[in-house]
Amino acid sequence: MIKRIASFLLMLTLVAIAVPAYANGEVGNEESKYRALRIIGAANVEIYEDGKLALKITGEAIDGKITAYLDGAEKYAFIPPSANYDVKITTTGDGILSYLVTEEDYGGGKAARAILYNQVKVSKGETYTGTLPKYSAADYNLTRKGTSLAYTLVSPSGTAIRPYMDGDIDGITFIVEAFSNDETLGSVIPRSKGLYMGQIAVVTAYMADGAEFDGWYEKGKKIEGAGDVYEFSIQTDRELVAHFKGQSMVGPTPVERKTVSPAEALNRLGLLVGTGTGADGKPDYGLDKSLTRLEALALVIRMMGLEKESQAYKGANPFVDVPAWGVNYAAYGYDIKITAGVDPSKGLFAPDRPVTFQEFTAFMLRVLGYHEANGDFAFADAQAKAEDIRMFSAHSLDEVNNGTFLRGNAVMELVDALLTSPKGSSDQQIVVLSGKGVFSKADATWFLDNAI
């Protein structure tokens, strides 16, 4: 398996990262530009648009016309550039507060500028205020350096706080990775995505029966005070190792361990169906056979958690060459802009043509919220983009791109995509799908416990 599979059960029950709770509203951005505002810490937030209350976040409640969500201690809001905004932050506890503004372009696919106020010490009941000025006509022509607008954060005493950093966002993006010292004794939940400085990272150790957790280690040294669920503010790249001791009372050694294949595990989640039935009466997944374009599209729609929606779709099918079983997949895929076929002018989809590694990788990127139309990647560079977002490594590219792209290769990519965070989220795709009810927590846990 390309990636290490972690314990999904612990992610749902111990890690304070949930599927985002969204407010009603749209990202009302002119020319695809907006500001992403992240406030991390114990606080209630009010945002005013030209003096009128536009968003209120109190505890876990979100109300207002600005699109926003909660992710643990992080409050995230999409701030349009077409007006002046004032931010009022009222702290609800002692501790630290991080305040990050990024200038973004969802047509360009990457943030241009980041303004970070990092780990500001706060006391309960204090009020901090910030400003996000309106873009001028010239500001819409974003360069990689972003605008020259003056963003502010002011302390309760009225003193302007100096930003920790104001510049390219790459300077505050870090990676956290976690591993187990012995997978027969315990596993971990890795947070191996890019996180911005100041965000809260969470790693969790999961002990097998008969084993004990001995602590988190970094560079060979034990981290004092870090329990099996370890939360910390990300300030740099970190590689952590969970140490376990004792002897597992369940399960054999890795060589003897009884597992099911990734294909069988994906089948239980409802993400993969067989091509027939084998002599043993079990589904035959045809892993040594090629995957057609239509079969690939069906997989993509399931991976987006849209199987039911696709089968209930009543819209017109623009393709003339799709068999009856795939009409809803093709029509719905076209409607949500996952596919345009091979020749839209003639209504051709080429359903039976084998999908290529390049095409399937592009499909997986779209599943994760990356789209060519938004400038997130170019089709010709799909493999490089997948590597860039750490869907798989350069070594993994060799494993799945080793000639003819087969169903077995697709299974490997599907698992990688499940363990990759969608665009704009810190949660893995498997968490997002479980949150949508695509499969149960029990089935997801079974998948991660049994798939190799």
Q: Reduce the DSSP state of residue 290 to 3 states and report it.
A: strand
**All structural domains of the chain with their residue ranges:** 21-167, 175-194+204-246, 262-450
- Asked whether the beta carbons of 244 and 205 are under 8 A apart, the reply is yes
Number of alpha carbons in the 13 Å side-chain half-sphere of residue 9: 12
Crossing angle of helices 293-303/357-367, nearest 10°?
20
Report the alpha-carbon distance of residue 381 to residue 360 in Å, rounded.
Answer: 13
pLDDT at 397: 55
Report the alpha-carbon distance of residue 351 to residue 294 in Å, rounded.
Answer: 5
Q: Could you tell me the mean pLDDT of each successive run of 10 residues in the chain, 452 residues long?
A: 34 26 33 78 94 90 82 81 94 93 63 85 96 88 75 96 86 81 77 67 81 91 90 86 76 44 82 76 80 88 85 91 91 88 84 86 88 86 82 55 72 85 81 80 71 52
Cβ neighbours for 180, distance < 8 A, ≥ 6 positions apart? 186, 187, 188, 205, 241, 242, 244
Best CA proximity match to 99, nearest among 82, 81, 122:
122
Crossing angle of helices 293-303/327-335, nearest 10°?
60
Best CA proximity match to 37, nearest among 95, 88, 2, 91:
88
| Strand bridging mode 43-49 / 33-40 | unpaired
Place of tokens 């963003």: 151
Best CA proximity match to 99, nearest among 123, 78, 129:
129
DSSP 8-state assignment for residue 32: G
What stretches of 123-252 adopt beta strand conformation (E)?
Answer: 127-132, 152-154, 165-167, 173-180, 186-189, 194-196, 200-207, 211-218, 221-222, 229-233, 238-246
pLDDT at 110: 52
Place of tokens 């050694």: 253
Q: Reduce the DSSP state of residue 307 to 3 states and report it.
A: helix
Best CA proximity match to 1, nearest among 311, 400, 343:
400
| Element (DSSP H or E) covering residue 446 | helix 441-450
Best CA proximity match to 77, nearest among 14, 127, 34:
34
Q: In sequence order, what are the beta bridge partners of 202?
A: 231
Query: Residue 108 class from Cβ within 10 Å (0-12 exposed, 13-18 middle, 19+ buried)?
Result: middle
Cβ neighbours for 14, distance < 8 A, ≥ 6 positions apart? 204, 228, 229
pLDDT at 16: 25
Helices (H) and strands (E) in the chain, counts: 11, 23
Place of tokens 């040594």: 288
